[in-house]
Amino acid sequence: MSELLMVIIGGLASGAVYSLVAIGIVVIHKATKTVNFAHGGFVLLGAFAAYLVVVKLQWTYWAAYLIVPVLIGGLATGVELAILRPLRKADLFTVITATIFIGIGLSEIYRLSYNTEILAMPKPIAGAPFFFGDVILTRGQLWVAAGALTAGFVGLLVFSHATIGRSMRAMASNVRGATLCGYSVDRVYAIAWFVGGALAGLAGVFAGPSKGISPDLAVAMITAGFVAAVIGGFDSLRGALLGGLLLGLAETFAAAYVSSAMKSAISFLLLFVVLLWRPDGLFSEAKVRDV
């Protein structure tokens, strides 16, 4: 029983970071209809920025949690403004290709500026773990799971209830209608990229200490984030949140009770099952009407 609980805790801690990445991907997709393959690159730069703040500048993690999302959000807005805005009228293939290569470019920025195999970060919270019988719960796990999930919920609430969220929802629903209602496409797209980028940066701050910082991080995060978003439903923030948790749990359960060599395979199997069974995802917000 204690082992089962520890498997669940481990799965939730991984899944919470996946959720945060997936929410960022979905926010950008919902508001701008852009599938952002550069998201992993933003996560990597978020982790790298956190490293600079915490290790190089010797500031606290709190500074990283506050500064990095703003920095990466600003970077994402800049990318939208400089590269994707001119491509707005291009076909989907062109835009997707652009985001793929933006992602590679972002990873290269890291590689060129810090040519080392991996950067390690200290734990965000020091102190002895909590023991509940045989169950061990570390402060780091608790912090990452709770922090990433809280950030995800905040992102979800902003999109669902805040004024800036309303503009993004309007754009997601109908671009022409939203424009006629006075919403600026440029402004809403910039906001969406800022929010998506900020969430990616925050995911990087949470992921850095547990996963280390290397170009692999971008690939690992974009893969997990996309799988989580597809499982949850690519148009559903709630789905992205739950999809990330489900993916984290599935990976850990598969490794623990099926085969440790099957960890990745099981998560992709889950993806294909969901795509075949419910192509819109498990928690899709799309409404189907019989006409």
**Alpha carbon 172 to chain centroid, angstroms:** 19
Residue whose CB is less far from other proteins, 80 or 251: 251
Measure Cα distances from 212 to 70, 83, 199, 215 in Å.
Answer: 21, 29, 18, 10
Task: Give the one residue of 136, 164, 175, 185 binding other proteins; rule: CB under 8 A.
Answer: 136
Identity of the residue, 229 or 254, whose beta carbon is nearer to other proteins in the bound complex:
254
2-61 binders of other proteins (CB under 8 A): 3, 6-7, 10-11, 14
Choose between 103 and 281: whose C-beta lies nearer to other proteins. 103
264 in contact with other proteins (CB under 8 A): yes
CB of 242 to other proteins, least distance (A): 20
Three-class SS state of 135: strand
Instruction: Identify residues 141-160 at the interface with other proteins (CB under 8 A).
Output: 141
Q: Could you give the residue ranges of the DSSP H alpha helices within the chain? A: 2-32, 39-51, 61-79, 92-113, 139-161, 163-173, 175-180, 185-211, 215-232, 237-257, 263-277
State which amino acid sits at residue 115.
Answer: N
Q: What is the residue-wise DSSP string for 219-233?
A: HHHHHHHHHHHHHH-
Exposure of 8 in the CB half-sphere (CA atoms within 13 A): 6
CB of 138 to other proteins, least distance (A): 5
Least Å from the CB of residue 196 to other proteins? 24
For other proteins, give the closer residue by CB, 35 or 119: 119
Least separation in angstroms between CB 291 and other proteins: 46
The number of residues in the chain equals 291
Contact call for residue 186 and other proteins (CB under 8 A): no
Q: Using the rule CB under 8 A, which residue among 26, 73, 251, 281 binds other proteins?
A: 251
* Residue 269 near other proteins by CB under 8 A: no
Least distance (Å) between residue 9 CB and other proteins: 8
Task: Please state the separation of Cα 102 from the chain's center in Å.
Answer: 17
Beta strands 130-132 and 135-137, pairing class: antiparallel
- Nearest approach in angstroms of CB 84 to other proteins is 29
Q: How many residues bind other proteins (CB under 8 A)?
A: 36
Q: What is the footprint of other proteins within residues 199-238 (CB under 8 A)?
A: 210-212, 214, 216, 220
The residues that bridge with 162 in the sheet, in sequence order, are none
**Cα four-point dihedral sign 158, 161, 162, 165:** positive
Site for other proteins in 99-118 (CB under 8 A): 115-118
First and final C-alpha spacing in the chain: 50
Q: Which is nearer to other proteins, 123 or 187 (CB)?
A: 123
What is the chain's Cα-based Rg? Answer: 19
Paired tokens of 208: 């850095």
Site residues (CB under 8 A) for other proteins?
3, 6-7, 10-11, 14, 115-120, 129, 134, 136, 138, 140-141, 210-212, 214, 216, 220, 251-257, 259-261, 263-264
